[in-house]
A and B are shown apart, each in its own frame.
Chain A
Amino acid sequence: GENVEQHPSTLSVQEGDSAVIKCTYSDSASNYFPWYKQELGKRPQLIIDIRSNVGEKKDQRIAVTLNKTAKHFSLHITETQPEDSAVYFCAASRRGTSYGKLTFGQGTILTVHP
Chain B
Amino acid sequence: DTGVSQNPRHKITKRGQNVTFRCDPISEHNRLYWYRQTLGQGPEFLTYFQNEAQLEKSRLLSDRFSAERPKGSFSTLEIQRTEQGDSAMYLCASSLARQGGEKLFFGSGTQLSVL
Interface, chain A (partner B; CB < 8 A): 4, 6, 32, 34, 42-46, 49, 51, 89, 91, 93, 97-107
Interface, chain B (partner A; CB < 8 A): 4, 31, 33, 40-45, 48, 50, 55-56, 91, 93, 95, 97, 100-104, 106-109
Beta-carbon contact of B102 and A98 below 8 Å: yes
Beta-carbon contact of B42 and A106 below 8 Å: yes
Beta-carbon contact of B108 and A98 below 8 Å: no
Pick the residue among B41, B48, B56 that contacts A106 (CB under 8 A). Answer: B41
List chain B residues, Cβ under 8 A from A104: 41-44
List chain B residues, Cβ under 8 A from A99: 97, 100-102
Question: Given the complex of chains A and B, what is the CA–CA distance between A46 and B38 in angstroms?
Answer: 19
Beta-carbon contact of A91 and B101 below 8 Å: no
List chain A residues, Cβ under 8 A from B100: 32, 51, 99
Beta-carbon contact of B97 and A43 below 8 Å: no
List chain B residues, Cβ under 8 A from A34: 101, 103-104
Looking at chain A's contact residues, is the secondary structure mostly helix, strand, loop, or mixed? strand
Beta-carbon contact of A100 and B41 below 8 Å: no
Beta-carbon contact of A49 and B101 below 8 Å: yes
In the complex, the chain A residue whose C-beta lies closest to that of B102 is A99
In the complex, the chain B residue whose C-beta lies closest to that of A99 is B102
List chain B residues, Cβ under 8 A from A106: 40-42
List chain A residues, Cβ under 8 A from B45: 101-103
State whether A49 and B91 are in contact (beta carbons under 8 Å apart), knowing that A98-B48, A101-B48 are contacts in the complex.
no
Chain B nearest Cβ from A25, distance in angstroms: 13
State whether A43 and B107 are in contact (beta carbons under 8 Å apart), knowing that A49-B101, A98-B48 are contacts in the complex.
yes
Chain A nearest Cβ from B106, distance in angstroms: 4
Beta-carbon contact of B41 and A43 below 8 Å: no
Chain B nearest Cβ from A100, distance in angstroms: 4
Beta-carbon contact of B42 and A32 below 8 Å: no
In the complex, the chain A residue whose C-beta lies closest to that of B106 is A43
State whether A44 and B31 are in contact (beta carbons under 8 Å apart), knowing that A100-B93, A101-B48 are contacts in the complex.
no
Beta-carbon contact of A42 and B42 below 8 Å: no
Supplied contacts A43-B4, A106-B40, 5 more A-B pairs, CB within 8 Å: A4-B42, A49-B101, A100-B31, A100-B48, A102-B104
